[in-house]
């Protein structure tokens, strides 16, 4: 019988290794033919060169990824792990107190071995912390489930455990793309997974918290982290403590707005040596727009109720935080234009605003460019269109309508660019760049664009993507050599991300229809501003 032990001890958690290792050598599967330790760490330790120990280089991912992406770590060495009969994972602060042998094996190769959570043994399923967000892949509805298991001790046959690993990794990645983090990370996904897969459940004595008094024999003790300084000090990465040393930014609106909010937050977090946390609760209630940053290679964590400040739904807690708490101190955008004081903030702050100027993130422009590369390659029609765009001189022309037309308030504030603006903008670019250009038209109302916009160039109307794949339109727009943008942050970003050295960008001189709304810091100085008065009332009447 060959058994592999999976153990994660990045950063300061390495201090738990010695006692865990000595206790496992004495008590875990004493009759096994072979026991091998796979230690995921960024630290050095005495036994790392032993023939039955493999050190797996693993960066300290910080909160919450050290737990949320634990199964991602295991998947990196799936081929090696598949050579063993059984695989078991143990939290870093576990220590064996008695022999744990054949009774901890599954009954067959299809089973996992899981352990009742010691804090939930006496709770009915509806009182346990199952994931209750219906948008999460870890979701368990009220009335479902039988018991709650802990994420810190589990295992089973290599076949069953690797199937769990692949499934949880896929579910976590899908959640993150949608802007969701299960409240209890991999433990939430484990509880969801076992509802549909064979497993055997062991009593809570196999995950026995130090100093607790359970009515079970103490087989595996979970040491108290407070003895070694507490969770936050153990999580520390250098001088950074997480999640206390966080810049939190409220994310709301469409994709273009999200990109500005993220960029300003990332720039401030970089200055403070903190991590960036995203507050996505806006999308739990507002269905007009979708969270879209998950399609990019962004560097941020998604906040949960455990790390975010109180929401307005809990008015008393919200007011107490808003006016008295020093944690996540709120910083509101004072105006539409650039506010230099943002990048001079200190401590743990919560940003609420649009932050629509490259001046907020100009010092990390290269990093923003990298962060806004898409995680997945273009496929199907998007891959074909990408090749077509790159094959000849190209201009991306974006027409923003949608709620700018259908919503009277939005129309009065934003307005829309008239057809003549687009004709003149294309002419401006053609006169300044050689070649026979194709104009690729992107719009949330392509029929209107086709009926109203005329240019002297061949025009291609791109209409195969929708709100679920807006990021693909952004990729295609960015690939064009030149841009004609509307008064839309979505097309602003397509132009800004365009790396073509000789690019020409035309933007409307007046961004808002409302004359009181002014942002002189929005349009970069090397873009051409074309005089245009955004249309308002007549469009609402015609809609």
pLDDT at 232 (0 to 100) = 57
Residues of the chain above pLDDT 90, percent = 83
In whole angstroms, give the CA distance from residue 464 to residue 378.
13
Q: Which of 25, 109, 131, 187 is catalytic?
A: 187
Residue 159's CB is within 10 A of a number of other CB atoms, namely 17
Each residue's pLDDT tens digit, 84-135? 999 999 999 999 999 999 999 999 999 999 999 999 999 999 999 999 999 9
Res 247 pLDDT > 90:
yes
Quickly state the pLDDT bin for 240 (edges 50, 70, 90): very low
Res 287 pLDDT > 90:
no
- Average pLDDT of 373-378? 96
Quickly state the pLDDT bin for 235 (edges 50, 70, 90): low
pLDDT at 312 (0 to 100) = 86
The vertex-427 CA angle with 534 and 405, nearest 5°, equals: 25
Give the residue with greater pLDDT, 323 vs 521. Answer: 521
Quickly state the pLDDT bin for 463 (edges 50, 70, 90): very high
Which of 76-85, 225-234, 397-406 is predicted least confidently? 225-234
Res 234 pLDDT > 70:
no
Residues of the chain above pLDDT 70, percent = 95
Enumerate the domain spans of the chain: 2-234, 243-371, 380-542
380-542 has the same fold as 2-234: no
Which architecture, in CATH terms, is 380-542?
Answer: 3-Layer(aba) Sandwich (3.40)
Each residue's pLDDT tens digit, 159-202? 999 999 999 999 999 999 999 999 999 999 999 999 999 999 99
How would you class 139 by CB atoms within 10 Å of its CB: exposed for 0-12, middle for 13-18, buried for 19 or more?
middle
Q: What does residue 331 show for φ and ψ, rounded to 5 degrees? A: -125, 115
Look up residue 486 and give its two tokens.
Answer: 């509307």
187 tagged catalytic: yes
Mean pLDDT of the chain: 92
Those residues whose C-beta lies under 8 Å from the C-beta of residue 173, and which sit 6 or more positions away, are none
Strand ranges of the sheet holding 301-302, from the earlier edge strand across to the other edge: 301-302, 275-279, 246-250, 349-352, 329-332
Res 242 pLDDT > 50:
no
In whole angstroms, give the CA distance from residue 343 to residue 198.
52
Look up residue 392 and give its two tokens.
Answer: 């000849």
Q: What does residue 308 show for φ and ψ, rounded to 5 degrees? A: -90, 155
Name the CATH topology of 2-234. Answer: Spore Coat Polysaccharide Biosynthesis Protein SpsA; Chain A (3.90.550)
pLDDT at 327 (0 to 100) = 79
Q: At what angle do helices 470-479 and 380-390 cross, to 10 degrees?
A: 20
What does the DSSP assignment read for 10-74? -GGGGGGHHHHHHHHHHHBSTT-SEEEEEEEESS--GGGGSTTEEEEE-----TTHHHHTHHHHH
Each residue's pLDDT tens digit, 137-166? 999 999 999 999 999 999 999 999 999 999
pTM of the model: 0.85
Closest residue by Cα to residue 257 from 497, 489, 452, 6: 489
Each residue's pLDDT tens digit, 205-218? 999 999 899 989 99
In whole angstroms, give the CA distance from residue 162 to residue 148.
21
Res 284 pLDDT > 90:
no
Each residue's pLDDT tens digit, 16-55? 999 999 999 999 999 888 999 999 999 999 999 999 999 9
Give the residue with greater pLDDT, 527 vs 225. Answer: 527
- Average pLDDT of 416-431? 96
Report CA-CA distances (Å) from 134 to 139, 140, 182, 188: 5, 8, 10, 13
Which helix (DSSP H) or strand (DSSP E) does residue 438 occupy? strand 438-443
Q: What does residue 56 show for φ and ψ, rounded to 5 degrees? A: -105, 115
What residues does 53 pair with on adjacent strands?
A: 37
């Amino acid at each position: 019988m060959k058994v592999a032990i999976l153990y994660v001890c990045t950063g300061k958690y390495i201090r738990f290794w010695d006692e865990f290792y000595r206790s496992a050598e004495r008590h875990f599967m004493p009759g096994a033919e072979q026991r091998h330790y796979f230690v995921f760490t960024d630290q050095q330790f005495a036994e790392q060169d032993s023939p039955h120990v493999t050190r797996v280089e693993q960066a300290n991912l910080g909160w919450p990824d050290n737990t949320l992406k634990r199964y991602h770590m295991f998947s990196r060495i799936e081929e090696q792990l598949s050579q063993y009969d059984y695989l078991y994972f143990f939290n870093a602060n576990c220590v064996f107190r008695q022999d744990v042998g054949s009774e901890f094996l599954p009954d067959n190769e299809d089973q996992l071995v899981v352990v009742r959570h010691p804090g939930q043994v006496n709770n009915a399923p509806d009182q346990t912390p199952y994931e209750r967000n219906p948008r999460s892949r870890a979701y368990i509805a009220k009335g479902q489930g039988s018991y709650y298991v802990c994420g810190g001790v589990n295992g089973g046959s290599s076949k069953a455990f690797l199937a769990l690993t692949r499934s949880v990794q896929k579910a976590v990645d899908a959640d993150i793309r949608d802007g969701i983090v299960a409240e209890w990370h991999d433990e939430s996904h484990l509880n969801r997974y076992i509802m549909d897969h064979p497993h055997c459940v062991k009593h809570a004595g196999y995950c026995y918290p130090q100093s607790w008094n359970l009515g079970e024999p103490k087989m595996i003790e979970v040491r108290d982290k407070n003895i070694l300084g507490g969770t936050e000090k153990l999580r520390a990465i250098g001088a950074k403590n997480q999640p206390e040393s966080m810049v939190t930014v409220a994310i709301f609106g469409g994709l273009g707005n999200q990109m500005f909010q993220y960029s300003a937050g990332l720039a401030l977090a970089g200055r403070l040596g903190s991590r960036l946390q995203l507050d996505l609760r806006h999308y739990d209630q507002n269905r007009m727009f979708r969270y879209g940053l998950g399609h990019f290679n962004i560097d941020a964590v998604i906040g949960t109720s455990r790390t975010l400040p109180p929401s307005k739904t809990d008015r008393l807690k919200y007011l107490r935080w808003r006016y008295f708490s020093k944690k996540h101190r709120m910083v509101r955008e004072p105006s539409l234009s650039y506010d230099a004081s943002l990048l001079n903030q200190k401590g743990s702050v919560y940003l609420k605003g649009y932050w629509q100027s490259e001046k907020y993130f100009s010092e990390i422009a290269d990093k923003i460019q990298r962060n806004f590369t898409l995680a997945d390659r273009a496929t199907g029609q998007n891959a074909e269109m990408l090749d077509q765009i790159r094959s000849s001189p190209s201009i991306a022309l974006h027409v923003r309508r949608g709620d700018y037309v259908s919503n009277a308030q939005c129309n009065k504030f934003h307005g829309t660019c008239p057809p003549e603006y687009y004709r003149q903008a294309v002419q401006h670019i053609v006169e300044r760049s050689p070649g026979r250009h194709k104009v690729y038209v992107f719009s949330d109302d392509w029929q209107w664009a086709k009926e109203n916009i005329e240019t002297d160039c061949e025009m291609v109307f791109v209409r195969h993507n929708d709100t679920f794949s807006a990021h693909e339109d952004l990729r295609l727009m960015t690939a064009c050599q030149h841009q004609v943008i509307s008064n839309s942050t979505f097309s602003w970003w397509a132009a800004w991300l365009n790396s073509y050295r000789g690019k020409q960008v035309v933007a409307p001189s007046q961004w808002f229809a409302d004359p009181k709304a002014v942002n002189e810091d929005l349009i970069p100085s090397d873009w051409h501003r074309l005089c245009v008065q955004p249309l308002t009332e007549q469009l609402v009447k015609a809609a």
